[in-house]
Structures are given as structure tokens and as C-alpha cells.
Amino acid sequence: MFKKLKKITLFSFVLFSCMCLTSCFEVLEEINLNEDGSGAMVVTFNLSKSKTKLASIMLLDSVNGYRVPSKDDIELALKDAENHLKNSPGISNIKKTADYQNYIFTISCNFDQVTNLDAVFHDLIRKQNKKEKTNFDLTSFSYNATSQSFKRNFSYDNNIKKSFYKLKSDDRKIFEDASYTSIYRFKNNIQNSSNTLAKVAPNKKAVFLKLDVLSLILGEKSLENTIQLSK
């Protein structure tokens, strides 16, 4: 367990370090869900809008008190994340990509059932809760194949806002132009989506939600969404 947490910590550290070096980044969460609850997931960390700045920063040792991760650091972090997925039940076909020209990094996998995705994030969320004394829900996704209902859970904790305001003003600016996007695709038509900020595709097969990270940190908006599919 300690080794697993250490690997997740390394990946989180490198990811956080990269994002702290630029205020313009996007996290993209994509899920393609089958009727039986199996499917595929892709998580993308896109820093391409700041690629020129990042290319210069990568030549330095540190910026604004943050250590600049090397290419080896990033590769090791991606490898550790990949190894963690390999040890997660119900997860297969794990792949990772690293585009250092555009600074776009992806991790993808297949899952046997939606609950397998919770195992992927469980340790990371639990460690975050312990470190920052937050109380985030360990269940991120759920799916009822009988009722054809998919849910993206998101429980806000006010301690995140408190931690945010403890940061220096320059560090808080990092999140001003950052965004978090989720795209969920289904085989059946979508009847409704509970999150009023989410958009249903014209073909009724996908739900798109893009939020600024700052609004998530401050608790002004939420990723939570219940999506009802036609039977």
C-alpha cells in the first residue's frame, strides 16, 4: 500500500508542478460507456496553450519556488500511474502518451464496470482527504444498468476554499484560466442531464460539461451530474 501511495504521490506532484508553472491548462475527462457498464476512459492534461512558455521554463531548475520537473520526472510519473492502473481490478488496455512539443499528456484504459473507475481514484482522494483534512466522496462514478442511469459524483468541501486562500496571490492566479472538461458518451439516447451547465449533443449520445477550475475550488459550480438514458 505504501508503494502504491508513493507512486500516486509522485504523479500528483509532477502534475501539480507542471500546472503551477502556467495559468492556462485543461484537464479533460472522457468516458465511453457501454450498456452493460463496461467501457473506456481517457484523461488528458493539456498545457498546449502555454507550450512556448513551458519550453523555456523546462530549461530552469525552479520557478516561483516550485521545482521544475524534468522530462525524466514526467516519464517516471506517467509510468508509475500506468503501473497503478495495472494493479487496479477490472482495468485493462492501459496506455499513456506524452507530447513534449505541445505538452499534452494522456492516460487511457478500459474498465469492466463503472465501479472499477473508483478504485483508480480511491487512494488519491483518500490521501488528499488525509493531507488537507477534507472529506471528498470516495465514490466518483456509479451506473445502474437496470435503470440505465449514470452518475458522476462530486462532493464539495469548504476546506478546499480555505486552503486556496492560504496560497500567495501569485499562486492563486495559476487557476484563473484553467478548465476542467468532462465528456461522457453512451450507446443509448440521453433523456435528461441533471447538471444545468452540461450540454447534450445533438445526436443525444453524449454529454459535455466545461467548467473553470476556479469555480470548482470556490464551490460555485459542480461536476456532479446524473444522466438518464433511454431503455
Positions in the chain whose pLDDT score sits under 50: 1-14, 16
Specify the pTM. 0.84
Q: How many domains does the chain have?
A: 1
Continuous H helices in the chain = 2-20, 51-57, 71-86, 115-132, 158-166, 169-172, 213-217
Supply the range of the domain harboring residue 127: 2-229
Q: What is the pLDDT of residue 103?
A: 85
How many CB atoms are located within 10 Å of the residue 23 CB?
17
CA-angle at 71, arms to 65 and 73, nearest 5°? 65
Q: What is the pLDDT of residue 190?
A: 98
Which DSSP state fits 183? E
**In one letter, which amino acid is 9?**
T
How far is CA 160 from each of CA 25, 214, 215, rounded to the nearest angstrom? 19, 11, 12
Could you read off the pLDDT of 2-33 as tens digits, one per residue? 233 333 344 444 454 555 555 578 889 999 99
Would you call 66 helix, strand, or coil by DSSP? Answer: strand
Biggest CA-to-CA distance, the chain = 55
CB-hemisphere CA count at 13 Å for 47?
Answer: 25
Torsion of CA 190, 192, 193, 199, to 10 degrees: 70
